[in-house]
C-alpha cells in the first residue's frame, strides 16, 4: 500500500513539475491559448466552399427596367452590393483585384430580349479566386436567367411536382456550416496539441539535461511517462472544455444538444491515446525539428482520413479498415454523434471502448520504447 502511495505521489509531483515547465514556456502556452480560441473562431467563420460577400461590378449600358431588375438581384450576404462602373473602368478594376465579377449589360438589351433575340451579357470572372469563381459564375448565370424569364413572362412559372418531397433538415435545420467547421477544428487541435505538448516535454528535458537528473532518482520509467500523460492531457482537456463553453457555445452560438460531460469523458480517453502517441514520437525524435517533421507525417493522415474532412464512406475500403486503428476516427464519430445529434452512452459506447483499447495499445508501445530509450541513456 505504501509503495502504491509513493508511486502516486511521484506521478503527482512530476506532473506538477511538467505544468510549471509549460508555464515558463510562454510561446508554447500562447500557442495553446490561440489554438483553442482564435483558431476555432476563424476556422468556423471562414467558409471557402461557399459564396460569401463576393465583390461584383456592373456596367449597365441599357439602363432599362430589365437591367435594373438584374442588378438588384445581387445582394448580401452572397454578393456585396453591386458597384456601378463605366465600361472604361471594367478592365482596370479586374486587373487591380477590386472585383471578382464584372458584368456588362449591352445597350438595347431589354428591347432585343422582348423582340425574341438572344443578346449576350458579358461576365468577366477573376479565376484566381478559385472557390468564388466557379461557384459564383453559376450563381450569376442562374440569377440572371431567372430574372429575365420572370420579366418576360411577368410572373414566375412554377410546375407542381407529381410527388411532394417533404424535406426535414435534422440536427442542423438552418444548414449552418459554422457549427461543423468549429467542432472539426476543435477535434483537430485536441489531437495536435496533445501530441505536441507531450513530445515537446520529453525532448525539452533531454535538451536541458533534466532527464538525466530524473534517472538518478528512485523513479520508474512508467512514473515519468504517466506524469507527462496526465499533466499535458489535463492542459488540453481544460482548454477543450473552455473552448466548448466560451467559443463554440458562446461566441459561435452553437446549440450543443448532447451531454457535455459525456463528450468530455470521451475526450479524456482520446487524450490518453494521443499523449501516449506523443511520448512515442518524443522518444523517436532527437530534437524539436525532427519532432516537427514526424508531426507532419502523423497528423496529416489522422486529420484527413478520420472522417472529419471527408466522409469515410467516400474512401477506399482498405483506408477505412486501416483508419479503424486510429483514435481520431472514433473521436470524430462520437464527437459528431454527441454534439450534433444528442447521442447518449448507449449509442457511442463502442467508440469509447475502441479508443480505450487503442489508447492502451499506444501506451504499452510508448512505455516499451521509453524504457528502451532510458536504458540506452543509462548505459
Domain of residue 61, CATH code: 3.40.1710.10
Domain co-membership, 97 together with 243: no
Q: Are residues 72 and 32 in the same domain?
A: no
> Does residue 331 contact residue 355 with C-beta atoms inside 8 Å?
yes
Tell the burial category of 193 from Cβ atoms under 10 Å away from its Cβ (0-12, 13-18, 19+): buried
Same domain, 269 and 366: yes
CA distances from 128 to 13, 131, 132, 179 (A): 56, 9, 9, 28
Looking at the structure, tell me whether residues 142 and 215 fall in a common domain. Answer: no
Residue 159 falls within a domain, yes or no? no
What domain range is 179 assigned to? 2-46+172-378
Give the model's pLDDT for residue 250: 85
**Do 260 and 302 lie in a common domain?**
yes
pLDDT of 57 reads: 93
What element of type H or E holds 260?
A: helix 260-284
List, for the chain, all residue ranges whose pLDDT scores fall below the cut of 70: 1, 47-50, 129, 131, 155-167, 169, 172-178, 209, 211-216, 377-379
Is 321 within the bounds of a domain? yes
What is the pLDDT, as a whole number, of residue 163?
Answer: 56
pLDDT tens digit sequence for 246-295 = 988 888 888 777 889 999 999 999 999 999 999 999 888 888 888 888 88
For residue 163, is it within any domain?
A: no
What pLDDT was estimated at residue 155?
44
In a domain, 164, yes or no: no
Three-class DSSP category at 373: helix
Q: Tell me if 272 is assigned to some domain.
A: yes
Task: Mark whether 133 and 250 lie in a shared domain.
Answer: no
Spatial separation of the C-alpha atoms in residues 236 and 325, rounded to whole Å: 22
Assigned C-alpha cell, 173? 435545420
Query: Is there a single domain that holds both residue 223 and residue 333?
Result: yes
Which uninterrupted H or E stretch holds 33? Answer: helix 26-35
39 & 64 share domain: no
Residues 6+ apart with CB under 8 A from 131: 48, 49
What confidence tens digit (pLDDT) does each residue in 150-198 have?
888 874 455 555 555 566 767 766 666 667 788 888 989 999 999 999 9
Number of domains in the chain: 2
Q: Is residue 166 part of a domain?
A: no
State whether 10 and 141 are in the same domain: no
pLDDT attached to residue 137: 86
Position 203 scores a pLDDT of 86
Q: Are the beta carbons of 327 and 270 closer than 8 angstroms?
A: yes
Percent of the chain with pLDDT strictly greater than 90 = 31
Residue 331 in domain: yes
Residue 51 forms part of a structural domain: no
For 224, half-sphere exposure in the C-beta direction (CA atoms, 13 angstrom radius) is: 24
**Per-residue pLDDT at 156:** 45
Amino acid at each position: 500500500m505504501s509503495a502504491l502511495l509513493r508511486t502516486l505521489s511521484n506521478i503527482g509531483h512530476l506532473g506538477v513539475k511538467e505544468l510549471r515547465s509549460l508555464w515558463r514556456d510562454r510561446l508554447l502556452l500562447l500557442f495553446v491559448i490561440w489554438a483553442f480560441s482564435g483558431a476555432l473562431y476563424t476556422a468556423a467563420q471562414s467558409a471557402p466552399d461557399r459564396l460569401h460577400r463576393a465583390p461584383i461590378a456592373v456596367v449597365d449600358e441599357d439602363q432599362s427596367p430589365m437591367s435594373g431588375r438584374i442588378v438588384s438581384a445581387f445582394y448580401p450576404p452572397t454578393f456585396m452590393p453591386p458597384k456601378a462602373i463605366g465600361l472604361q473602368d471594367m478592365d482596370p478594376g479586374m486587373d487591380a483585384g477590386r472585383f471578382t465579377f464584372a458584368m456588362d449589360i449591352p445597350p438595347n438589351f431589354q428591347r432585343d430580349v422582348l423582340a425574341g433575340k438572344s443578346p449576350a451579357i458579358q461576365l468577366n470572372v477573376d479565376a484566381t479566386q478559385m472557390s468564388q469563381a466557379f461557384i459564383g459564375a453559376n450563381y450569376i448565370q442562374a440569377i440572371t436567367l431567372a430574372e429575365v424569364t420572370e420579366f418576360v413572362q411577368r410572373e414566375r412559372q412554377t410546375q407542381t411536382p407529381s410527388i411532394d418531397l417533404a424535406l426535414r433538415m435534422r440536427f442542423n435545420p438552418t444548414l449552418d456550416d459554422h457549427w461543423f467547421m468549429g467542432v472539426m477544428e476543435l477535434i483537430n487541435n485536441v489531437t495536435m496539441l496533445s501530441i505536441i505538448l507531450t513530445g515537446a516535454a520529453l525532448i525539452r528535458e533531454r535538451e536541458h539535461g533534466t532527464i538525466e537528473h530524473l534517472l538518478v532518482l528512485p523513479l520508474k520509467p512508467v512514473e515519468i511517462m504517466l506524469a507527462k500523460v496526465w499533466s499535458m492531457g489535463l492542459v488540453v482537456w481544460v482548454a477543450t472544455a473552455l473552448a466548448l463553453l466560451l467559443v463554440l457555445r458562446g461566441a459561435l452560438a452553437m446549440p450543443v444538444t448532447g451531454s457535455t460531460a459525456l463528450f468530455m469523458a470521451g475526450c479524456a480517453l482520446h487524450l490518453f491515446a494521443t499523449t501516449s502517441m506523443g511520448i512515442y514520437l518524443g522518444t523517436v525524435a532527437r530534437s524539436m525539428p525532427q519532432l516537427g517533421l514526424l508531426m507532419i507525417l502523423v497528423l496529416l493522415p489522422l486529420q484527413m482520413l478520420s472522417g472529419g474532412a471527408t466522409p469515410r464512406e467516400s474512401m477506399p475500403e482498405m483506408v477505412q479498415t486501416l483508419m479503424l486503428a486510429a483514435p481520431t476516427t472514433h473521436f470524430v464519430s462520437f464527437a459528431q454523434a454527441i454534439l450534433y445529434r444528442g447521442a447518449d452512452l448507449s449509442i457511442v459506447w463502442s467508440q469509447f471502448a475502441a479508443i480505450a483499447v487503442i489508447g492502451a495499445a499506444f501506451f504499452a508501445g510508448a512505455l516499451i520504447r521509453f524504457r528502451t530509450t532510458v536504458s540506452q541513456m543509462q548505459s
